[in-house]
Amino acid sequence: MTTIDRLLFGDNQFFGVNHMSEEKARAQQMRFQDIGAVQSVLDAAYDEGIHTFMCTTHDRVAQIADHVRAHPDRYGDFRFFPCMPYAHKYANAVTEDGMIGAIKRFLPDDGFLDAAFRGGKSFARKDIEGIITLLVDAEMKMFAGLSTPVIWLQNVVVDLLLGLHFDEAFRIFHDHVRSKYGAEPGFITMNAPLLASRLAGLGLERPLICANYNKIGFRMSGGQDAYRAMLESGDVRFVAMSVLASGAIAPREAIEWVCTQPGVESIVFGASSRANIRATRELVDTFWGDARVDARPV
């Protein structure tokens, strides 16, 4: 079983994502316009013992990947947990080119889709499987040669598929990530209890799920009780995100709460300074034991 550090470093702060304030998001975008500023925060996290970078497949992450690849001595334990796809580029493409046009735009130019479309009106299973696996491979290119022990499907895609009852896509993603990358497939969602029941229906054993988990129940669709029941069941491996609810809860209170909940394996957090990274790590150390120790027993 893939082991996961207790504390993972997220990337929202680098790319102008702030769920509380557009002003703060813009200020962060300005500060991190220079990729060197991003790298120096990542270095600070690494030196604080946080070795996993959970990141979108944003174009700028490719520069980070290049940097890490170029300095193997500096980043011996550096792990990427890619989260795909970077949804905005697809959403914008759908607006411009429609569904099919957008998919075509991101597939390698090997004529696969053209052949599939010429093949007839119906999508065969191999067509859908081909499209999903090619899209995954396109997103994974930037991480070639780097350690990617977990590969995540982003919540906007997971939740879209969930509502469409398109569960087969989860299995295709799962099988491809396991077989081609030898990695653990993960699913990010805003609807964790519903997703957990569907993944169980597919027969996936203890799937890895990442979702908001915070004391005030912010963006935990299905409700806090359903989340707790899911975690108590032990049927999923769980990474908590948005633990601070975008800053609505004070750090100490937020981290104490999540660390005392059953079934949470890991926490993903974002920070923009070494002081905040250290403060978060120390809080997790306080309530959870040493955060730098890899792999809680699961």
Least distance between another protein and beta carbon 182 (Å):
27
**CA angle, 183 as apex, 180 and 185 as ends, to 5°?**
100
Among 1, 70, 95, 145, binds another protein (CB under 8 A): 95
Residues 6+ apart with CB under 8 A from 272: 13, 28, 31, 32, 41
Smallest distance, another protein to C-beta of residue 110, A: 18
Vertex 106 angle, CA 105 and 108, to 5°:
100
Which of 17, 62, 138, 229 touches another protein (CB under 8 A)?
17
Q: Which residue in 104, 138, 200, 218 binds another protein (CB under 8 A)?
A: 218
Judged by CB under 8 A, which of 70, 122, 205, 297 binds another protein?
122
Min separation Cβ 76 and another protein, Å: 34
Q: Residue 4 or 230: which CB sits closer to another protein?
A: 230
Contacts of 204 (CB under 8 A, 6+ apart): 170, 171, 174
For another protein, the binding residue among 128, 138, 200, 229 (CB under 8 A) is: 128
Query: What is the rounded distance in angstroms from the CA atom of residue 284 to the CA atom of residue 258?
Result: 10
Binding region for another protein (CB under 8 A) out of 1-9, 70-78, 119-127, 254-262 = 119-127
The first and second tokens of residue 297, run together, are 């027993």
User: For residue 79, which phi and psi values (nearest 5 degrees)?
Assistant: -120, 140
Q: Does 97 contact another protein by CB under 8 A? A: yes
